[in-house]
Chain A
């Protein structure tokens, strides 16, 4: 199957780190993505990782991939109020051209 699962909610204090977790079922997943959806807007590609990588860092964002456990995480350092949004995990393979999305994790940043 192509299921992607995420926890639905995360609350974090401003300035702390946020960690959003995602699990997927397709062991042949090749590309894994994080999309961000701000209120009233569509999804924006935030970052991505290839399956041959374990980690990718991009400024405040760190993506960790554990292929054995089929687990993907997104860490946001020094979380700001502007980081409040819904974060979607997505994956696909070179054979299955469709993207499979999770249900999204709503991140709320409190002062």
Chain B
């Protein structure tokens, strides 16, 4: 039990599909994040939400659309994806801000996305 739960664990979708990834944290944190993990590449920060407000959009294509209805839930809506978007998508949370020692990141187990 990581405290950060992501669903689904695996997702296969066609390029014309619309799907959503869900993340829920039970840690009472105020900040939530989406990261993209591709093999042999650094972890890529996609979006950051602090107290439900988006504070970072790291030049992510508009086919990825985040939603943060409250501090405990985070979604990533996907539409018209490309095969190169296939990756492991990790959700994380922290007390506030990002990554400082007083506020380390807690990660979920990720959603393995395959775009066909």
Among B56, B104, B110, point to the contact of A98 (Cβ < 8 A).
Answer: B56
A88 and B40 form a contact (CB under 8 A): no
Query: If the complex has contacts A101-B43, A103-B40, A103-B41, are A43 and B107 also in contact, measured as CB distance less than 8 A?
Result: yes
B110: which A residues are within 8 A, CB to CB? 41-42
Distance between A2 CB and nearest chain B CB, rounded to angstroms: 10
Q: Least Cβ distance of B106 to chain A in Å?
A: 8
- CB atoms of A98 and B99 under 8 A apart: yes
**What is the distance, in angstroms, from B44's C-beta to the closest C-beta of chain A?**
8
**Does B40 lie within 8 Å of A100, measured CB to CB?**
no
Most buried by B among A97, A101, A103: A97
Q: In the complex, which of the residues B40, B42, B56, B101 contacts A101, with contact meaning CB atoms closer than 8 Å? A: B42
Query: When the two chains form their complex, are residues B108 and A90 in contact, meaning their CB atoms are under 8 A apart?
Result: no
State whether the Cβ of A109 lies closer than 8 Å to any Cβ in chain B: no
Binary B-proximity of A93-110 (CB < 8 A = 1, otherwise 0): 010011111111000000
Rounded to whole Å, the gap between the CB of A93 and the closest CB of chain B is 10
Chain A contact residues, majority secondary structure: strand
Please tell me if B92 contacts chain A, counting CB pairs below 8 Å.
yes
Other than the given A43-B92, A103-B40, A104-B43, 13 more pairs (CB < 8 A) read A31-B99, A40-B109, A43-B43, A48-B104, A50-B101, A88-B43, A92-B98, A92-B99, A98-B99, A99-B105, A101-B43, A102-B42, A103-B42
30 A-B residue pairings within 8 Å (CB atoms): A8-B40, A31-B99, A42-B2, A42-B4, A42-B6, A42-B107, A42-B108, A42-B109, A43-B43, A43-B92, A43-B105, A43-B107, A44-B107, A45-B104, A45-B105, A48-B101, A48-B104, A50-B101, A88-B43, A90-B99, A94-B100, A97-B100, A98-B45, A99-B98, A99-B99, A99-B105, A101-B42, A101-B43, A103-B42, A104-B43
